[in-house]
Amino acid sequence: MDLALLETHLADSGQPAYRARQVWEWAARGAPGYDAMSNVPAALRDGLRANVPFSTLTVTEEQQAKDGTVKTLFRTHDGHPVEAVLMRYRDGRRSICVSSQSGCPLTCTFCATGTMQFGRNLTTSEILDQALHFRRLEEIDHGRAPKPRDTIHPSRGGGASPLTNCVFMGMGEPLMNFDNVIAAAKRLPDVGVTPRRTTISTVGWLPGLTRFIDEVDEPIRIALSLHAANPALRSQLMPVNDRYPLADVLAELHRYYELRHRKVYIEYVMLEGVNDTPRHAAELAAILDEKTFKVNLIPYNPTGTYGGSSRDAIAAFKHVLDRARIPATVRLTRGRDIAAACGQLAATR
Binds ligand SAH (CB under 6 A): choice among 74, 110, 212, 317? 110
Query: What single DSSP character describes residue 135?
Result: H
The DSSP bridge pattern shows strands 57-64 and 165-168 to be unpaired
Catalytic residue among 7, 25, 83, 267: 83
For residues 13 and 32, give the distance between their C-alpha atoms in angstroms, rounded to a whole number.
23
Q: Is position 252 annotated as part of the catalytic site?
A: no
Least distance in Å: CB of 8 to ligand SAH?
A: 32
| 27/342 with CB nearer ligand SAH | 342
User: Closest approach of Cβ 227 to ligand SAH, in Å?
Assistant: 6
Helix 3-12 to helix 42-51 angle (10° resolution) is 130
Does 173 interact with ligand SAH (rule: CB under 6 A)?
A: yes
Residue 343 touches ligand SAH, criterion: CB under 6 A = yes
Residue pair 103/116 in contact (Cβ under 8 Å)? The answer is: yes
Nearer to ligand SAH, 180 or 303 (CB): 303
Q: Does 225 bind ligand SAH (CB under 6 A)?
A: yes
With CB under 6 A as the contact rule, the residue among 111, 288, 314, 338 that binds ligand SAH is 111
Which position among 97, 104, 111, 342 bears the catalytic label?
Answer: 342
What HEC string does 37-106 produce? CCCCCHHHHHHHHHHCCCCCEEEEEEEECCCCCEEEEEEECCCCEEEEEEEECCCCCEEEECCCECCCCC
202 binds ligand SAH (CB under 6 A): yes
Q: Which of 303, 313, 326, 340 binds ligand SAH (CB under 6 A)?
A: 303
CB-CB neighbours of 89 under 10 Å: 15
How far, in Å, CA of 22 to CA of 48, rounded? 13
* Segment contacting ligand SAH by CB under 6 A, of 53-61, 135-143, 196-204, 276-284: 196-204
Look at the alpha carbons of 340, 344, 347, 349 in this order and tell me if their dihedral is positive or negative: negative
Window contacting ligand SAH (CB under 6 A); options: 3-11, 123-131, 150-158, 294-302: 294-302
The total of other beta-carbon atoms located within 10 Å of residue 45's CB is 17
Q: Which one of 253, 298, 314, 340 is in contact with ligand SAH (CB under 6 A)?
A: 298
The one-letter code for the residue type at 188 is L
Active site residue 342: yes
Residues lying near ligand SAH in the complex (CB under 6 A) are found at 110-111, 169, 173, 201-203, 225, 267, 269, 298, 300-301, 303, 342-343
Q: Which residues are catalytic?
A: 83, 342
